[in-house]
Structure 1
């Protein structure tokens, strides 16, 4: 699903990739859609939780925001990084047609935005972010930068281009 998307991933491919039988997939997940939703949840736990780890600290600030974006860029640079982010891909492909997928995507984006908002507020307090920066608007912007970075990677943009995109967004943080 992550590489090819929901529509392009047939049950035969899932059987080949997982090594499970059709019967096993249907018995365990009920069907392709339920397997897709379970895959989104697993991706969130296996990939996104470690990526967000720097921001989970209640005292996270500018340094942790930069660490988060370094992890975003690191994922993009890894082999297979051109797949982008499975959650972002789900937003584009399934967000408008699958309420459960859209809900999962919104939960993820809300979590990232909440963590960024807290870290930005801390950064403003500790002086690593200018006092005149609107925290909520900046968090919205940085969420878009993170998602946009993965979209750019999926579209084949060079990692240097994406790094400059991210660095420009972080320029107000010391």
Structure 2
């Protein structure tokens, strides 16, 4: 594993302070996110993060502040990717009801795979770190609100097309779908079969009609 040297310290000469980072920030946060996802925050050591990312401790601390700072950066990267993928799945060229169902079925597929036994970093972080972690809290809450907003928008499109109940309250349906999606990820961790998860999605779709 290549080890990345520390970034220049604030007291370094101007030429050194202006030197660009010698590692890919996106790559490092992606690798760290996978470590946190597999092991959990508290069980993850600085040493394991250094070994996985190739960073020296000095580089990790100078860039992220500490292990928690790296968690926040890794969480944000993971969340942005998760939201972008959900948005893309909901935007497919299908009738609104089918597009939403296919997007929800994706979660059943992910949760039923062996890798899904680790759950979702968003869900895991909320369960492990809240309510005590006030620094991470706004990142988690914002992410969940954004996920819910995309799900609500999909339902609104279905309402406009006459496929969903026009009287559904947006906030309520957003919270309902968010709970269902996160619940699928939790159930996947306890080895619930995909058929059982699919039945939950189909029940959800019936509730929207």
- Tell me whether the two structures share a fold, i.e. TM-score over 0.5: yes
Match of 1:118 in 2: 153
Q: Is the 8 A contact 1:76 1:84 kept in 2?
A: yes
Structure 2 unaligned residues grouped into runs of 5+:
1-35
1:134 CA displacement: 3.5
Distance 1:105 1:146 in 2: 15
Of stretches 11-20 and 27-36 in structure 1, the one that deviates more from structure 2 is 11-20
* Structure of higher RCO (CA pairs closer than 8 Å, 6+ residues apart): 1
Post-superposition CA distance 1:6-60 (Å, at most 9, x none) = 1111111112222222222112211100000011011113334213323368x98
Match of 2:73 in 1: 38
Distance 2:120 2:105 in 1: 15
Q: Does 1:86 align with 2:115?
A: no
Call closer, same or farther: CA 1:78–1:52 in 2, change over 3 Å.
Answer: farther
Question: Which among 90, 95, 117 is matched to residue 55 of structure 1?
Answer: 90
Question: Which among 135, 138, 152 is matched to residue 103 of structure 1?
Answer: 138
Distance 1:24 1:78 in 2: 35
Larger radius of gyration: 2
Structure 1 unaligned residues grouped into runs of 5+:
none
Of stretches 43-52 and 2-11 in structure 1, the one that deviates more from structure 2 is 43-52
Cα root mean square deviation, aligned: 2.3
Q: How does the TM-score come out when normalised to structure 1? A: 0.87
- The count of residues paired between Structure 1 and Structure 2 equals 173
Find the residue that maps to 2:104 and give its secondary structure.
helix
Q: How does the TM-score come out when normalised to structure 2? A: 0.74
Distance 2:162 2:138 in 1: 36
